[in-house]
Amino acid sequence: MNVVVVGAGIVGAAIARKLSMYDLNLIILEKQPEAGWGITKANSGIVHAGYDDPPGTLRASLCSRGNMMYEEMCKQLKVDFKRIGSLVVAFTGDEVKVLHELMRRGELNNVKGLKLLDREEVLSLEPRLNGNVIAALYAETAGITEPWMVAIACVENAVQNGAKFLPNTKVIGFEIVKERIRYVLTDSDKIPADVVINATGMESDLLAKLAGVYHPPLHPRRGQYILIDKNAGNIVNSVIFPTPTEDSKGILVLPTVDGGTLIGPNAEDLSDRERESVSTTLEGLREVLEKASHLVPHLPVNRVIKTFAGLRPETPSKDFYITAETSPWGFVNVGGMRSPGLTAAPAIAEYVVEYLIPEKLHISLTRKKDFNPERRKIPHPADSTPEKWHEMIARDKRWGRIVCACNEVTEMEIREAIRRGARTLDAIKFRTRAMFGKCQGGFCTHRIMKILAEETGQALEDVLKAEAGSWILNGKVRP
Amino acid sequence: MAAALGAAEQGVEVLLVEREDRNGGVLNQCIHNGFGLHYFREELTGPEYAERFMKLIESRNIRTFTGAHVWKLAPFENTAFIVSESGIYDVYFDALVVTTGARERPFGALMIPGDRPAGIFTAGLAQRFVNIENHLPGKRALILGSGDIGLIMARRLTLEGMEVVGVVERLPYPGGLERNVQQCLVDFDIPLYLSHTVTGVEGKGRLERVYISEVDDEFKPVKGTEKVFEVDTLILSVGLIPQTEILKNFVEIDPKTFGFITSNTGRTSLDSVFAAGNDVIIYDLVDYVSTEGYTAGKHAALHALRKVTPSRRIPIIPGENIGVLFPRFYEEQEDLRIYVRVRKPLENVRVVVEPGIYSRKFDRVAPNEMITFTIPSEKIPPSLNRILVEVEKDEG
């Protein structure tokens, strides 16, 4: 059985990991140089509790189930996950009514640990919140993670268990014979396939079209973000949402897993031709800052270190679109992965592999006896004890050479990230947090480029920042 | 190095910890001249200036530990935890001088809208690539910010064969020294766009386009004044941020500038911890940094030797027109060297230190040239409750 997963975002990666538990020939295709570089890279990083999805929708059931699965998954994959809880805050009587409605939805969605808090209770949890708050809905099961690391870790774990990962590979078509997929055609190869998982995020309707399969049309909804340095200290302790509207969860303030603070996103609906438009705008950033400042006044704007934008794929029905097709047989759509796609990902993987594939495609999969769910993390000695770090340095002195001083990343961590497949500066950044700190690479970019060039045998001027064309240096000053 | 020297000359044992493989910091990549006119009375390049100090510290009881990163500081336990390729060390100290300098404000802090392509460099990183790594950062560049390093990079990149299409400054006057405006821009016909800022960057993969606009008094872009530059490189010289995070939970730090708040001896709010240089305020000249480094080293040593008990600290208050002021406290065991940066250019003014301690007339002052002067300690009554520094209109 040949299974090809197209797209190594959080959803494709989670499905691939789940599939790698079974005896089959698994190939993961990704058009970017790394897993998790599309929608997955730029979102709020929240593992939602699941109270705001309309009861009865697919996204409601998969969200609350996904939330329950996160802790164990992240423990196995050695990815940071913190169950810090969330607060939806209300400033008016009408907003309090919405909180009651969310509470009711949450109960229908089987969400545990919901509580309505009064003003004093809210402010004792979050002293920096706008003092005009009158109530909040507290959800203790909400958490935060690093979305791209979940995707990278899932892919690494799948590869550990026998899957093949092909980055920089774009699917351009399918060979279909007698209503069955035979091959996936890529820009460089022809790959045999019995089952194809379409997890292509912002492009899943386009890929479905290539296979001649229906998929509701997608359009991108762009969200802009502002990141505040961890050195500003704890601004909030949990995820702070405004009261949502029918259309959007609103602009939030939340901690990141490494101690920074993220604010955003706004929501701009773009046309279906703007599927790569991750530019920020003056109005967008202003809106984020204004609305976030309403939730939490006096945000330390002088500690901002980064602004960015991400896309979410929206369908007209605003629900996930997950189907197993029989014409051609074996094409599985996993599309419309708007919020809470990150949260739902492990539950989606379970739904696709344990329900859709056996029930709809009538394939019985056999579990591997030797599946290993544990991923080995790149060690980060700055988080360990002096004794342990000392030992590591005694084994290899490169554990003692700090390359990125802001986040205390050692030379060995950089080298290990490259050995695991990082080929560009951004790939190293997302895997190690080097260049991710307060100086944003001002002090260490040249050092990391040298290590990357050395490990890969490239010339320094051939090192890229991210995608093809993102060159950094223009040759030598003198020969 | 100046602090190590100042300390060693008092007869204490000194450990100098440096995270790079070589002492000297950013001086090593500043291959232009203009250093040392005050401190050594001659004009040196950055590496030459650093080398002078390397020679000076070689002859003293100073151990240097390069390639060493201070992981944690426990100032109440007088201990530093240091990481290096030879292992982890706990180092005990009687006094500590923090001379961690400043970092460049990164692109992300400016909240400039647009794409996030390759080709956007802080001036210091670009300088590192050109002067040390022997690589050019691009072909055609625009420079944002007219601080000294931005001006110097405009010249350097031009000399090394890149095209520099202009320097953009949001203030109505340049940020760097006059002499650098003349020698780096005017002499090379590089346009300076004052009261302008970058309003957008575009590029897929690599930077392709930069948009600039004129700004009003509140630095808001003025509609209809947009210009577009087809450049593959944007160099940022948009300010330096003191590197004080390692002690942020232990000593007083200016919440606006992030600089350590110290007295004229370099002492921070903790008696045994001193700081000097660009981690306190951003200086114009390395000569000033060395002078204050030396002073902080000396007083740290005196503290370690328990030769003096900290005297009463008299607060120094910034008054009218003062943008940057050093020091923020006065201790009587050292003369009072004051460094002042005014908020805006002014003519016919008087710099005064109250009550009646100092007064001097200036025809013209501007934020890009610091004013510095020394008041001997015997001229300051120790009973003062506060000292006020202001720049006022000269009525005479």
Question: In sequence order, which residues have a C-beta less than 8 Å from that of residue B380 and are 6 or more positions away?
Answer: B314, B330, B332, B336, B357, B387
Question: Is the predicted pLDDT of residue B361 greater than 90, yes or no?
Answer: yes
The domain segmentation of chain A, as residue ranges, is 1-80+144-218+315-377, 81-143+222-304, 381-462
Closest CA to B220 of B249, B190, B197, B240: B197
Structure tokens at A478: 């003198």
**Phi-psi group of B111: left, alpha or beta (phi > 0 → left; psi -120 to 50 → alpha; rest → beta):** left
Confidence (pLDDT) at B396: 62
Q: What is the rounded CA–CA span in Å between residue A133 and residue A264?
A: 19
Both structure tokens of B26: 């950013």
The sheet that has B209-214: what strands, in order across it? Answer: B196-202, B209-214, B227-229
pLDDT in tens, A220-257: 999 999 999 999 999 999 999 999 988 889 999 999 99
Span(s) in chain B for CATH 3.50.50.60: 1-101+242-310, 106-238
ipTM: 0.96
Which chain B residue lies closest to A466 (C-alpha atoms)?
B205
Separation between Cα atoms, residue A380 and residue A382, nearest integer Å: 6
Q: How far is B86 from chain A (nearest CA, A)?
A: 6
CA distances for B206 relative to B25, B117, B210, B221, B394, angstroms: 30, 5, 12, 25, 53
**A284/A226 Cα distance (integer angstroms):** 10
CA-wise closest residue to A166 among A335, A388, A6: A6
B102 interaction partners in chain A (CB closer than 8 Å):
none
Confirm or reject contact between B248 and chain A (CB < 8 A). Answer: yes
pLDDT in tens, A433-451: 999 999 999 999 999 999 9
Query: Considering CB atoms only, which of A304, A461, A467 is closest to B111?
Result: A304
Strands B163-168 and B140-144: parallel
Task: Check CB contact of A460 with chain B, cutoff 8 Å.
Answer: yes
Contact between residue B333 and residue B378 where contact means Cβ atoms under 8 Å apart:
no
Q: Which residue of B has its CA nearest to A281?
A: B113
**Closest residue on chain A to B245 (Cα):** A231
Given B104, B113, B258, which is nearest A282 (Cβ)?
Answer: B113
Q: How close is the nearest chain B Cα to the Cα of A145, in Å?
A: 22
Of B287, B299, B307, nearest in space to B263 by CA: B299
> 82-111 in B: which are within 8 Å (CB) of A?
83-88, 90, 103-104, 106-109, 111
- The pLDDT, as a whole number, for residue B260 is 98
Chain A, nearest residue to B100 by Cα: A405
Task: For chain B, positions 299-358, list CB contacts with chain A under 8 A.
Answer: none
- The DSSP output letter for B121 is E
Pick the CATH number of B1-101+242-310 from 3.40.50.2020, 3.50.50.60, 3.20.20.30, 3.30.300.30: 3.50.50.60
Q: Please state which CATH number belongs to domain A381-462.
A: 1.10.10.1100
Share of chain B above pLDDT 90, in %: 96
Q: Report the pLDDT value the prediction gives residue B203, as an integer from 0 to 100.
A: 97
Q: Is B310 a residue whose pLDDT tops 80?
A: no
Whether residue A459 lies within 8 A of chain B, CB to CB, comes out as no
Domain A81-143+222-304 identical in fold to domain A381-462: no
Among residues B70, B118, B60, the alpha carbon closest in space to that of B91 is found at B70
| Minimum CA–CA partner of B160 in chain A | A477
Query: B103 to chain A, minimum CA–CA distance in Å?
Result: 7
User: Bridge-partner residues for B80, per DSSP?
Assistant: B73, B91
Amino acid identity at B376: P
Ramachandran angles phi, psi of A449, nearest 5°? -60, -40
Q: Which of A279, A280, A473 sits opposite B136 (nearest CB)?
A: A473
Closest CA to A318 of A249, A242, A251: A249
DSSP B267: B
Q: Coil, strand or helix: which one is B241?
A: strand
Q: DSSP for A374-442?
A: PPPPPP-GGGS-HHHHHHHHHH-GGGG-EEETTTTEEHHHHHHHHHTT--SHHHHHHHH-TT-STTTTT
Shortest CA distance from B69: residue in chain A: A402
B6 SS3 class? helix
Residue whose token pair is 């890149």: B162
CATH classification code of A81-143+222-304: 3.30.9.10
Pairing of strands B387-393, B314-318: parallel
CA dist A301 to A232, A306, B230, B256, Å?
10, 11, 30, 11
Going by C-beta distance under 8 Å and a sequence separation of 6 or more, which residues neighbour residue B386?
B314, B315, B316, B317
Find chain B residues with C-beta within 8 A of A278's C-beta: 115-116
**B contacts of A408 (beta carbons < 8 Å):** 69, 71, 83
CA distance B322 to chain A (A): 20
- Phi/psi region, residue B361 (left: phi>0; alpha: psi -120 to 50; beta: rest), is beta
A440 touches chain B (CB under 8 A): yes
Q: Quick one: closest CA in A to B83, which residue?
A: A400
If pLDDT is split at 50, 70 and 90, which confidence band does B308 have? confident
CB nearest to B136's CB, from A306, A466, A474 = A474
Distance CA A353, CA A363 (A): 10
Q: Which CATH fold would you assign to the domain B313-396?
A: Immunoglobulin-like (2.60.40)
Q: Which of chain A's residues have a Cβ under 8 Å away from the Cβ of B125? A: 441-443, 445-446
Sequence-distant (6+) residues with CB within 8 A of A475 are A461, B135, B136
Q: A193 and A293 in contact (C-beta within 8 Å)?
A: no
pLDDT tens for A346-383 read 999 999 999 999 999 999 999 999 999 999 999 999 99
Please state which CATH number belongs to domain B106-238: 3.50.50.60
Mean pLDDT, residues A178-192: 96
- The number of CA neighbours under 13 Å toward the Cβ of B44 is 21
**Chain A: closest CA distance from residue B244 (Å):** 10
Residues of each domain in chain B carrying CATH 2.60.40: 313-396
Quick check: A12 and A5 in contact, CB under 8 A? yes
pLDDT digit string (tens) for A112-168?
999 999 999 999 999 999 999 999 999 999 999 999 999 999 999 999 999 999 999
Nearest neighbour of B87 by CB, restricted to A226, A400, A478: A400
Compute the distance between CA of residue B248 and CA of residue B265 in angstroms, rounded to an integer.
Answer: 20
Say whether residue A383 is in contact with chain B using an 8 A CB cutoff.
Answer: no
Q: Best mutation site among A285, A436, A473 for testing chain B: the one with the most B CBs within 10 Å?
A: A473
Note the Cα A14 to chain centre separation in Å: 11
Task: Give Cα separations from B24 to B36, B47, B65, B72, B183 (angstroms).
Answer: 14, 8, 13, 22, 25
**Contact: A440, B85; criterion CB under 8 Å:** no
> Is the CB of residue A447 less than 8 Å away from at least one CB of chain B?
no
pLDDT tops 90 at residue A216: yes
Q: Which of A222, A301, A260, A217 lies closest to A43, judged by CA? A: A222
Instruction: List the catalytic residues of A.
Output: 48
CB contact under 8 A, B83 and A389: yes
Q: Is A217 exposed, middle or buried (0-12, 13-18, 19+ CB in 10 A)?
A: exposed
CB contact under 8 A, A405 and B115: no
Of A308, A460, A477, the CB nearest to B116: A308
Hey, is the C-beta of A473 within 8 angstroms of any chain B C-beta? yes
Provide the shortest C-alpha distance from residue B336 to chain A (in Å).
Answer: 31
Opening angle at CA A44, ends A38 and A45, nearest 5: 80
**CATH class, A1-80+144-218+315-377 region:** alpha beta
Average model confidence (pLDDT) for chain A?
97
Contacts B83 to A, Cβ<8 Å: 389, 393, 400, 402, 408
Render A357-371 in DSSP notation, one character per residue.
IIIIS-----B-SS-
- Over the stretch B195-248, which tens digit does the pLDDT of each residue have? 999 999 999 999 999 999 999 999 999 999 999 999 999 999 999 999 999 999
What mean pLDDT do residues A40-47 have? 96
pLDDT of amino acid A246 = 80
* Interface contact B86-A405, CB threshold 8 A: no
Phi, psi of A204 (to 5 degrees): -65, -30
Pairs across A and B, CB distance < 8 A: 141
Is the confidence at residue B395, as pLDDT, over 80?
Answer: no
Residue B182's CB: how many other CB atoms inside 10 A? 11
Say if the Cβ atoms of A386 and B248 lie within 8 Å: no
Q: Are B137 and B126 in contact (CB under 8 A)?
A: yes
Of B234, B276, B279, give the one whose Cα is nearest residue B138: B234
Distance from CA of B128 to the nearest CA of A (A): 8
Using CA atoms, how far apart are residues B198 and B111, in angstroms rounded to an integer?
10
Residues in chain A: 479
**Cβ–Cβ gap A401/B85 under 8 Å:** yes
User: Closest by alpha carbon to A466, among B203, B83, B360, B246?
Assistant: B203
